[in-house]
Chains A and B, each alone.
Chain A
Amino acid sequence: MNKENDILKWFEGEISTEKMEQKYPDEDFSTLKKAGFYAKQIETPKIDAEKALEQFKTRSFHKKETKVVSLNTQLFLKIAAILVLIFGVSYFFFFSNTEVYRTEIAQTETLFLPDNSEVVLNAQSKLNYNKKEWQNNRTLKLNGEAFFKVTKGNKFTVLTNSGSIQVLGTQFNVKERERYFEVQCYEGSVSVTYQQNKTILLPGKSFRVLNGKVVSAKDFNNENPSWLAQETTFENVPLWQVINELEIQYNIKIEAKTVDVTKMFTGSFTHTNQNIALQSVTIPLKLSYKIQGDKVEFYDYETK
């Protein structure tokens, strides 16, 4: 394709017409020669540049003002403040090291702490601890009732509104309800601090506070708290506390205006059948009950 290249060069003015004719004497270049020559004569529209510019300026433009938009400092600060707030709040919400567990009425939950200690939360209870600090400081806060099986290790502390419990590695139950605080030791030994007084509990022993007063409780010999087996057991406990517990387990409201709620009750009720539970509480106390929706009324059938 040398000829083609030469023709190209010829049109670019690198090779003269004479040279082309010499090099390819048999070729007739007259058509190309003429075409090249006359194509040069084609007229191009002459533009009056100034006039065209003038005409151009009369156009309307859709200029995108991206460049001119100045940073609105106030708006920027507002947005920045909002962002900081959002990130700050979400940090506390999503990155906080506090683990919180909560149970509602008639609900229990079993959970494991980072050291594999087991906690069973009874109904309507709340437990929280700092996940990050757990390695150095086994401390948690409890509202309500829970049973602990603590893995041996450092001091393990349970803080409640009524008092604190310290152990090294045992099984124990903590119950902290309204006007009621009870710690029961099932294994090892448990140290309970109540109003700066320390009490050491051995297996089978309980520490009970009723209405802000420490009261003695009988020894027990079961291995686990009865509520783990869907049953709540009381030993010489006032009726109002039993009613509290019934309300928590069955999501009912109990009215006992006509009844002496300071009567002591010993016994248990099941968590699985409301009628049986109500009967097992009322019958020993010579009481009866009426169910109206989720309200239950206790009354003394002898006085009626």
Chain B
Amino acid sequence: MKKPKHKLCEESYFNSFYLKHIQAVSNFAFYKCGNNAASLDLVQDAFAKIWENCAKIDFEKAKTYLFTTVNNLFLNTIRHQKVVMSYAKESPYIDKTNLNPEYIMEEEEFKQKLLTTIADLSEEQREVFLLNRIEGKKYREIAELLGISQKTVEKRMSLALKFLRNKIDKVNI
């Protein structure tokens, strides 16, 4: 499947490219910066970069380029922003049958601790952790997306898990 190079410059192709990836890339931006409005801005900026440079970008590589651009823009601009995340409404507890109020309180407490701990993760660890958890991506897929090696992804994941475990357990005691 050989595609001509400058298809991205055709508006219809660009639009479909945009619609196809906007959700995934904005999720990615959200994992990085943990801020809803900021992540959308970031993504729009990244798409703008692609549109402006459409002639220089290989259609096949546009997706990688998109994620890399988000990454770079993030590093340049909004690293300092506060991570604000929340859970979906009516999300179930791990033990669905246990309706004991004490249990529910404990779980809610845990969930809050988890959020603050995730916010404290480094941006690199958080993005790997959440891409794995929320998107259910394999480490290999994450590596491909970020343009890094699978080993690096595993290392980041490992560190993220160690950090979560230590921090949450410490607060527990």
Which A residues contact B (CB, under 8 angstroms)? 4, 7-8, 11-13, 31-47, 49-50, 52-53, 55-56, 59, 61-64, 66-67
| A47–B22 touching, CB < 8 Å | yes
Beyond contacts A8-B161, A34-B110, A64-B52: 17 other A-B pairs, Cβ-Cβ < 8 A, are A7-B158, A7-B161, A12-B138, A34-B107, A35-B168, A37-B94, A39-B134, A40-B133, A43-B86, A47-B26, A49-B22, A52-B26, A56-B48, A59-B44, A61-B52, A62-B52, A67-B9
Q: Decide yes or no whether B73 CB sits under 8 A from chain A.
A: no
Question: A31 touches which one: B26, B118, B168 (CB < 8 A)?
Answer: B168
Q: Decide yes or no whether B27 CB sits under 8 A from chain A.
A: yes
Closest 9 CB pairs between A and B?
A: A41-B91, A67-B55, A39-B133, A43-B88, A45-B36, A41-B87, A44-B27, A49-B22, A49-B19
Question: B55 touches which one: A7, A33, A53, A66 (CB < 8 A)?
Answer: A66
Q: Decide yes or no whether B40 CB sits under 8 A from chain A.
A: yes
Shortest Cβ distance from residue B109 to the other chain A in the assembled complex, whole angstroms: 11
Known A7-B158, A50-B19, A56-B44: A35·B114 in contact at CB below 8 Å: yes
Residues of A within 8 A of B58 (CB): none
| B114–A8 touching, CB < 8 Å | no
Q: Report the separation of the CA atoms of residues A35 and B162 in the bound assembly, to the nearest whole angstrom.
A: 11
| B51–A61 touching, CB < 8 Å | yes
| B133–A45 touching, CB < 8 Å | no
| A12–B6 touching, CB < 8 Å | no
| B161–A12 touching, CB < 8 Å | no
| B44–A42 touching, CB < 8 Å | no
| B52–A56 touching, CB < 8 Å | no
Q: 24 interchain pairs (CB within 8 A)?
A: A11-B132, A35-B161, A38-B110, A39-B114, A40-B133, A41-B91, A42-B115, A44-B27, A44-B30, A45-B39, A45-B40, A47-B23, A47-B40, A49-B19, A50-B19, A52-B26, A52-B40, A53-B22, A55-B44, A61-B51, A63-B51, A64-B53, A66-B55, A67-B55
| B161–A59 touching, CB < 8 Å | no
Known A52-B40, A67-B55: A42·B48 in contact at CB below 8 Å: no
Shortest Cβ distance from residue B164 to the other chain A in the assembled complex, whole angstroms: 5
Q: Decide yes or no whether B47 CB sits under 8 A from chain A.
A: yes
| B133–A36 touching, CB < 8 Å | yes
Q: Report the separation of the CA atoms of residues A36 and B55 in the bound assembly, to the nearest whole angstrom.
A: 42
Shortest Cβ distance from residue B43 to the other chain A in the assembled complex, whole angstroms: 8
Known A7-B161, A42-B87: A49·B23 in contact at CB below 8 Å: yes
Shortest Cβ distance from residue A218 to the other chain B in the assembled complex, whole angstroms: 88
| B36–A38 touching, CB < 8 Å | no
Range for the number of chain B residues in contact with chain A: 35 or more
Question: A32 touches which one: B47, B55, B139, B161 (CB < 8 A)?
Answer: B161
Known A8-B158, A31-B169, A34-B110: A61·B22 in contact at CB below 8 Å: no
Cβ proximity bits B99-120 to A, threshold 8 Å, 1 near / 0 not: 0000000010011001101100
| B129–A39 touching, CB < 8 Å | yes
| B26–A8 touching, CB < 8 Å | no
For the residues of A in contact with B, the DSSP-based class is helix
Chain B, range 113-169, C-beta contacts under 8 Å to A: 114-115, 117-118, 129-130, 132-134, 136, 138-139, 154, 157-158, 161, 164-165, 168-169
Residues of B within 8 A of A8 (CB): 139, 154, 157-158, 161
Q: Decide yes or no whether B15 CB sits under 8 A from chain A.
A: yes
The residue of chain A having its C-beta at the shortest distance from the C-beta of B117 within the complex is A35
Q: Report the separation of the CA atoms of residues A63 and B68 in the bound assembly, to the nearest whole angstrom.
A: 20
Residues of B within 8 A of A59 (CB): 44, 48
Q: Report the separation of the CA atoms of residues A62 and B26 in the bound assembly, to the nearest whole angstrom.
A: 23
Residues of B within 8 A of A67 (CB): 6, 9, 55
| A11–B157 touching, CB < 8 Å | yes
Q: Report the separation of the CA atoms of residues A47 and B20 in the bound assembly, to the nearest whole angstrom.
A: 12
Question: B165 touches which one: A35, A38, A55, A62 (CB < 8 A)?
Answer: A35
| A38–B114 touching, CB < 8 Å | yes
Residues of B within 8 A of A56 (CB): 18, 44, 47-48
Residues of A within 8 A of B138 (CB): 12
| B40–A33 touching, CB < 8 Å | no
| A32–B27 touching, CB < 8 Å | no
